[in-house]
Amino acid sequence: MRWDALFEDMEAQFAAENRLLQESEIAERVRIDAAGVGMADRLRASINLRVMVHLVSGSTLAGLLSHAGSQLLVLNEQQHQVLVPYAAIGRCSGLARHALTEPSVVRQRPDLGRALRALSRDRSNLALTLAGGSQGEVTLHGVIDRVGRDYVDFAVTGPGEARRAANVIEMAAVPFTVLRAIRSTQPAMA
């Protein structure tokens, strides 16, 4: 009878060690999976949620997340839409706890340059929030005339003024790296 108890005890210890090993392996796999999740995947899982985006320059944007691409997100504020490059984000809050990968390469592809070229093509009146200035940010109003590989040529006008030669205050070449937010000045579509 002593031998039976000894073997039962050894089997219980072996089973407990095996369970701990499996739990440890599962935990490690979860950590490895989490390490492969990108910010775009977290944001994509939060589409149609109200989120707050804290920019590295210090300001905060809030709205309904309507798009999360490979390099940018779009927030629907109460009146306007705001395009935010991921490089301008300091942190986000209000995100879903899970992630959602984008299986479509075509939907992953839209990047900052393509989005800016579309805004240039549409001759959209915009407010560009740029890094810099005494408050950490500068806002320029106007229209994107041209988009280069890593910059935009921006025709600066007064707020609400149409892009006409007489209204252009300056032509500014703006590097993508200083873009913090691109806000439409037209009301957002419902």
Q: Quick: pLDDT tens for 57-71.
A: 889 999 999 999 888
Alpha helix segments (H runs only) across the chain: 2-35, 39-44, 105-108, 112-121
Q: How confident is the model at residue 58, as a pLDDT?
A: 87
* Strand locations in 96-150 (E): 125-131, 137-147
Q: How confident is the model at residue 86, as a pLDDT?
A: 94
d(CA 78, CA 81): 8
Q: How confident is the model at residue 189, as a pLDDT?
A: 56
Q: How confident is the model at residue 26, as a pLDDT?
A: 74
Is the pLDDT confidence value at 90 over 70?
A: yes
Is the pLDDT confidence value at 154 over 90?
A: yes
Q: What is the mean pLDDT of the chain?
A: 86
Q: How confident is the model at residue 32, as a pLDDT?
A: 63
Q: How confident is the model at residue 33, as a pLDDT?
A: 61
Q: How confident is the model at residue 106, as a pLDDT?
A: 57
Q: Are 103 and 139 in contact (CB under 8 A)?
A: no
d(CA 3, CA 159): 89
Phi and psi at residue 24, to the nearest 5°: -65, -40
pLDDT above 70 covers a percentage of the chain that reads 87
Is pTM beyond 0.85? Reply is no
Q: How confident is the model at residue 162, as a pLDDT?
A: 87
Q: How confident is the model at residue 31, as a pLDDT?
A: 61
d(CA 175, CA 151): 4
Mean pLDDT over 114-123 rounds to: 92
Q: Are 156 and 181 in contact (CB under 8 A)?
A: no
Give the contacts of 107 (CB within 8 A, at least 6 positions apart).
69
